[in-house]
Amino acid sequence: MAGTSPAMTSVDILVARSSTDTVGLRAALDEQARALGFDCIGITQPGTIESAGQHFLEFIASGRHGDMDWLANQPERRVDPRGLWADVRSVIMLGVNYGPDSDPLAVLAQRTRAAISVYAQGDDYHDLIKKRLKALARWLVAAAPSDVKVFVDTAAVMEKPLAQTAGLGWQGKHTNLVSRAFGSWLFLGAIYTTLELPRDDAEIDHCGSCRACLDICPTAAFPAPYELDARRCISYLTIENKGPIPHEFRRAIGNRIYGCDDCLAACPWNKFAQEGREARLAARDELRAPDLAELARLDDTAFRTLFTKSPVKRIGRDRFLRNVLIAIGNSGDAGLAAEARRLLDDASPLVRGAAVWALGRLVSLEEFEAMKSAAATNEHDDSVRAEWHAVS
């Protein structure tokens, strides 16, 4: 048809001519979302997550968000979509499956190798999903004139409660979203729109009496079902936490150097999970179970090169090596002590302190005391000096 964009199908044209046909618009929206690579879609409305909003406020008041101050900033913008954008009438929730192709917990038994969370073994999902959200939002505005905003885990949006009220899944006892079709492995994105669209039924809780996700947690980060203390969570400790990892959690971290998949992988609903179909989100071979010794040798340039397009890059080389050294200390392999010893001279106190702890776990007390004596006159950072004196 002359003057029509070649990207628009006959269904698109019909909807564009009759934007008041919300049923037809919804059917076309679903079709377009799947064509763009989304695996599921659901629609909800503002005012549907009041109980989740109250739970969030209690979470903040208890201090369980730790140092994630951005969560506590203007909480009213999170507890109701209208707090972020007063004109929103419908919330379109979308999911992309990133199901792994192997058991994500198998690497935990390989003590000299690093465990990186499944979501961070491929390209950064933020970039991929945001492009798809923008493409779908442009299509929607062309089909039915409206205002839209898109979000993917970077704004004051409570994606998981909204996804539950949109029917994509439910928040399990580990507080993460669980899908009957995709198990634990969904990336979420949201489109806020001024359109009034048909709403989907909310998903109900299917956890029953199961406690698998709670019982597997290495650091007991769940005070009760459906409650998380982020300050005890390995994902928080290895990613969000900027300082030294508290001593009480170091042994439990094992060889997890970026995030933790234990509670996700333990969910029985994963028996229905499917391997993700997006190649850019699939695990890179070099990040499946990298060698701890090789990771310990990364300088800043090599770190940035290895983790190009990866979410791991955002924590920076110093925090990353802190995590690697904790894993080295937990490896039980005395051969890795040389890597830790070399990093005693690193420019970063965060790295030096973690190296001290690793050596305290791998070498004899006599050898450790000799290194301590040599370091005493050269080390001027109080946090590193405290690490030397904490080993006995």
Q: Does 242 appear as a known binding residue?
A: yes
Q: Does 217 appear as a known binding residue?
A: yes
Q: Does 40 appear as a known binding residue?
A: no
Helix, strand, or coil (residue 91): strand
Let me know if 346 is a catalytic residue.
no
Q: 21, 80, 147, 153: which one is catalytic?
A: 153
How is 254-315 classified by DSSP, letter by letter? TTEEE---HHHHT-GGGGG------GGGSPPHHHHS-BHHHHHT--HHHHHHHTTT-GGGGG
- List the chain pLDDT tens, one digit each, 392 residues: 334 344 444 344 444 444 458 889 999 999 999 999 999 999 999 999 999 999 999 999 999 999 999 999 988 999 999 999 999 999 999 999 999 999 999 999 999 999 999 999 999 999 999 999 999 999 999 999 999 999 998 889 999 999 999 999 999 999 999 999 999 999 999 999 999 999 999 999 999 999 999 999 999 999 999 999 999 999 999 999 999 999 999 999 999 999 999 999 999 999 988 888 777 788 899 999 999 999 999 999 999 999 999 999 999 999 999 999 999 999 999 999 999 999 999 999 999 999 999 999 999 999 999 999 988 788 999 999 999 999 87
What does the alpha-carbon distance between residue 205 and residue 180 come to, in Å, rounded to a whole number?
Answer: 10
Strand partners, 256: 115
155 burial level (CB within 10 Å; 0-12, 13-18, 19+)? middle
